[in-house]
Structure 1
């Protein structure tokens, strides 16, 4: 019988590319241990991203990869997820207490579905087993309260810090909780950035693995506040395939590059549309623009989402796609992209001080 060793096992694993990481498990540093007991191989994997739903298929893929080795009769695979960094540095003035990683979801222009994407990505990360919060950074046009079906005002137990509101397992904060839904925020830029920073820092986030920040469109004061005062682990660019949206998305990319925020990749939204009546498929806003942008600038293409009326209807009804139809193909698309975002983030060192952007708290 052929004598197995760890080198043979790791060599076999290098032939399996984990799609969310974009590389093999050995190169990604995910092989925590290999134990060989006669003809039984035991492999311990340590992922840096949440993978509750992914784990069964990943376990089976590793089994199949190793089962073909000569002398292997059984393969046992254990998988655990450890999301870094474990605790924010208390001496780091750019860190946000209670938050391990901040992910900014951005677009160069409005109307590309950034907020809907942000909410569904946050829900998908939570569904995979992470502790997740969402901050609505669009002070002028907050939409998360409606999308997540949340009403009411945030409480404060000490008169200093907000308690985030909760729904679907997410911790949520938005300026929309502080004003009536139809009331405009007629504020100058400096007022907006101060309010945003206070919403970020004065919310009592509770042990979050990820805080997803739904950014306003553009490259203005709020984005600059984010870049200068808060440590952002990475940014995600959302665009539609059309040339005008891609041009604005490129400006957003260049902005993050200038201020030192790593860009994790590009998501293409509102791509293929399938007619619900006749089944005809059509690329209403163009085809493949997001992938071309990613290729041009050396970014990861995180995935594409269709132009589907259900996504809009579910968000308008306060029950986004990932919770409205968790076993459907659309929800799986969001989960696949969310895992890719978190996996890419796990491969990067947390950004060095770079990276968000006085409200009086009173009980009513």
Structure 2
């Protein structure tokens, strides 16, 4: 019961640091746990709140949610993680805890000793961290797994490009799941400066590799997931580098044939089926062949920026959301939809046939849905 009185970090300028920085010193943990819960929950609501409110404003809000403080704490932890190696920071924390046991410590002293030990300055970061009422938005592109050549043992290199076209720096936490279990470290903290871009590279050894990225960002959901089985790898590389590397910040052109529809687009609307006359006859054609879904998927809506979402209460299915997209002709299309009900990205292969019928070829079950499209 006296645990919270054994050591206290006191700051008049940033009063919340007593809890946040004190907890970091207590645990020595600068990694951010990654959750697979991508539904619209309190964490997503807190993320949306911080897109237009500063931490200073939030602390004066009588309805302040715990998740707001957790997100800001994770941002501070990510920044420290980009500046100080984890083991060195843990050593500092242990020494600091012994030195100031049962003491009420001014934050200025903690900050000074940290700066004397490591080349880190918290002043400019904390000022922006406490008063900033905006968030960055990130674009994730070209997640790819390569087989490395010229190695005595089987190795793979995972690559991912991250663009930050916003005016706010982004601090992200990356968790790597290497099922070969040869990497001692599985999480990393990185800075993606405003208006710049970076490429991440990781070396993996297993038969399956996944990477989760979390951070305070305007994207919905506020994270990114990439996963691929090494049995699907067809590209090879002699590049054995790993880490974070600057790349051209200019965004690449959209991939040919890719159509991204967002609920803020003019072609989106909600429909109440009870007020519409139902179509009685639907004609379908069977596809000649099956389209193979690629063995990877993303939790960030194709890597693009998503700033809002639409939801409705559960019902009998007569009210639904409708998107329209102009498709030039017949062909095979893969459609991915982020579903908050499933908490993940649902994807399936669809065959567009003459007359506007869509046949979904799911690996688990076959079911049919109907869309209409113009001849333009």
Q: TM-score range by the shorter chain?
A: under 0.3
| Structure ranking higher in strand proportion | 2
| Structure ranking higher in helix proportion | 1
Bigger relative CO (Cα 8 Å, ≥ 6 apart): 1
Larger Rg: 2
TM-score, normalisation: structure 1: 0.21
